Chain A
Amino acid sequence: MRHVVSVIVENKPGVLARIAGLFSRRGYNIDSLAVGITENPDFSRITLVVHGDDIIIEQIVKQLYKLIDTYKVIDLTKQTHIEREMALVKISVTASTRSEIIEIADIFRAKIIDVSEKNLVIELTGDQDKIEGFLVLIKKFGIVELVRTGSIAIQRG
């Protein structure tokens, strides 16, 4: 099962390496990892998307807690939460496909942030399904380049 795990860690150099190293040496797979500073500059929040059964996820949470720099670990999957990732997609366009792509972008409430004769760059945020859905639709036009951030997530309420 897919889990979204939020890890509050001390905002210090080397902490990310400890987290990533933990995953590689314990043989857990990370689907995505996003990191940034929190409202308190002493802490960073790492959002991890991982796959595993309950036993594996429990171990991952416990192993994360074992790191001295880990302050809090929250498995958001067990709570109502909002999840977002961002994608920047460079799509090749022609005069005849431009309007169709813009139409699709509008439906997905994506922004066109760069236009050239051959390409469009589209910025899209949403949960993983929305991004995937968008990519399926525009694939046929030719994706020149794709950048995704990985998920960030927060508890509702």
Chain B
Amino acid sequence: MTDKIKGSKILLESLKQENVTDIFGYPGGVLLDIYDEIYNSDINHFLVRHEQAAAHAADGYARSSGKVGVCLATSGPGATNLVTGIANAYMDSIPMVALTGQVSVNLIGKDSFQEADITGITMPITKHNFLVKSVKDLAETIKKAFYIARTGRPGPVLIDLPKDITQARIPFEYPKDINIPSYKPTYKGSIKQIKVAIDLMQKALKPVILAGGGIIASNASAELRELVSLTGIPVSSTLMGIGSYPYNDKLSLKMPGMHGTAYANYAVHDSDLIIAIGMRFDDRITGKLETFAPKAKIIHIDIDPAEIGKCIQPTVPIVGDAKQVLKDMIELLKETPVEPKKEWLEIVQDLKEKHPLSYKQTGDVIYPQFVMETINQLTKGEAIIATEVGTHQMWAAQFLNHLHPRHFLSSGGLGTMGFGFPAAIGAQVANPDKLVIDIAGDGSIQMNIQELSTVAYYKLPVKVIIINNRYLGMVRQWQELFYEGRYSHVDLEGKQPDFVKIAEAYDVLGLRAEKPSELKKVLEKAFSHNGPVFVDVVVNREESVYPFVPAGGVLNKMLFSERT
């Protein structure tokens, strides 16, 4: 007979079976048995300074590696602190397993110390969640959780672990297979529908591909590139799809939507065929639904049937995994090729030349876009970039040279300030040999600034570049444009901490650039430093992000900067 082992050990053994090598967590009372097991384990545990950072780090780890990210928090406040990070992963379909401690089964529902109904709380923001009420179910639940998190449309799965379950003993056997009769994702798209799609691609005169995060999730970037080389159809990548198609290619239209390029927006608006792959027609992309791409037929490819027809009714719906569908499409395209649309490509090239992303680096003050271009110059597009949320995020999406999938980690759906720094920590753990940069705003960085302690302790060489405009910049921009410049509670001037001194307080290298002439040298020093760095880049305060399609607007009616 197999030896009985504790639930906490079953958890660790099960994680090993799932090839988990790194977890991000924070201990607490009900987790004592698990942490006692971690003490002996060869799984790397990273102690963050706030549970929210554990969830974001697991998220960044997953985005940059394609593996399932794992975070661990104690019951009650530990678990509720994960909520923002879980919601963030849910909105962006990131595979994650969140483990939470819970009070013992007999104390559940008694408003016990540090008790929160975390399965109830996270029901709308997880792909699925579990409360383990018997140690007999533990191993199978973990197997199911990882399976659900990484298959189909990926997403976060939470497992709530009562303390007595982690203490109970039972022989350990990890299930080999899992069968959930009610959960059978569709991977292969209908060949019949794919043929109809190809027929539309052949007939279209002005087609555009909208490449979403689903391409990155299914590792279909190579297939997308092949599809484009076979058809010559230009590609616009959504924020989540950035890196799925290289920005420096002449068929790249970069990002569409609210802060997308003018040429992407004009092309999408004028197109007669949209091929939407692994994207969900978010309102930041479409503007007003009724006026989105009014002349276009829509081919919508998505693994989640519920995304099809949710916002836009497609002409050709294809339910399937992006990689599988594109592979089948490519095979069929070889038999029935699509001729490149020469006239359309000329129009697109003309749009690109007439309406490039532009800015002027004038005077003795640094412009944020200049920071992005200097980063391009130094990293050649090879660094993994995480961002916080705000104007700096949009400049990073617009001006950085995005070449590879899983190299741009940004909070898309939820728009979570405070995401970037811990996400960069997760990415650095998953990619120890890569240069990992967090582009931050001075507002956002203060939402998880305590993680300086984590990078210092684990010597994680994350470079944080703070685009410091002493404003909550995105809100300021909206107030300037739509609220008559009434800057209500967005001005941080004079109330800002000294970021260099803060870094130094944590024993992290702090640097500052205030003039354009200093920037390159400071960034070079930061990137070559063998450890974490906080770079405070003092930028022009008043710079706003353009082009700008106001919320609910029409894509071809953008606001442009008056300055350029």
Contacts and interface: CB of A to CB of B under 8 A. Distances in A.
A66 B304 contact: yes
A83 interface: no
Given A25-B124, A68-B128, A62 B306 contact: yes
A10 interface: yes
Contacts of A68: 127-128, 148, 180, 182-183
Given A21-B124, A59-B310, A65 B305 contact: yes
Interface string B155-184: 000000000000000000000000011110
A129 to B, nearest CB: 32
Nearest to A66: B306
A14 B128 CA distance: 11
B298 to A, nearest CB: 15
A155 interface: no
A-side interface size class? 20 to 34
Contacts of B123: 14, 17-18, 21
B306 A71 contact: no
Interface string A49-78: 000000100110011011111110000000
A124 B131 CA distance: 40
Contact of A62 (B120, B127, B131, B305): B305
A86 to B, nearest CB: 29
Nearest to A21: B123
Given A66-B304, A68-B127, A55 B182 contact: no
Contacts of A58: 309
B306 A10 contact: no
A55 B289 CA distance: 15
A70 B128 CA distance: 12
B124 A17 contact: no
B119 interface: yes
B526 to A, nearest CB: 43
A59 B313 CA distance: 11
Interface residues of B, number: 19
B309 A59 contact: yes
Question: Majority SS of interface residues in chain A?
Answer: helix
A55 B313 contact: yes
Given A17-B120, A18-B123, A25-B124, A71 B182 contact: yes
Contacts of B305: 62, 65-66
Nearest to B157: A68
A69 B310 contact: no
Output the residue of B119, B180, B183, B306 with the most chain A CB within 10 A: B306
B160 to A, nearest CB: 11
Interface in B138-155: 148
Contacts of B182: 9-10, 68-71
Nearest to A14: B119
Interface string A10-53: 10001001100110010000000000000000000000000000
Interface string B284-327: 00000000000000000000111011100100000000000000
Nearest to B123: A21
Contacts of A14: 119, 123, 131
Interface string A136-147: 000000000000
Given A55-B313, A68-B148, A68-B182, A63 B306 contact: yes
Interface in B101-155: 119-120, 123-124, 127-128, 131, 148
Nearest to A64: B306
Nearest to B309: A58
A59 B306 contact: yes
Contacts of A22: 124
A71 B181 contact: yes
A62 B304 CA distance: 9
Contacts of A66: 304-306
Interface in B306-353: 306, 308-310, 313
B210 to A, nearest CB: 21
Contacts of A62: 305-306, 308-310
B311 to A, nearest CB: 10
A26 to B, nearest CB: 9
Contacts of A71: 181-182
Contacts of A63: 306
A117 B196 CA distance: 73
Listed residue (A18, A62, A68, A71) with the most chain B CB atoms within 10 angstroms of its CB: A68
Interface of A: 9-10, 14, 17-18, 21-22, 25, 55, 58-59, 62-63, 65-71
Q: Which 5 A-B pairs have the closest CB atoms?
A: A62-B306, A71-B182, A68-B128, A66-B306, A25-B124
6 contacts: A9-B182, A14-B123, A17-B123, A58-B309, A67-B128, A71-B181
Given A14-B123, A68-B127, A68-B180, 16 more contacts: A17-B120, A22-B124, A55-B309, A58-B309, A59-B306, A59-B309, A59-B310, A62-B310, A63-B306, A65-B305, A68-B128, A68-B182, A68-B183, A69-B128, A71-B181, A71-B182
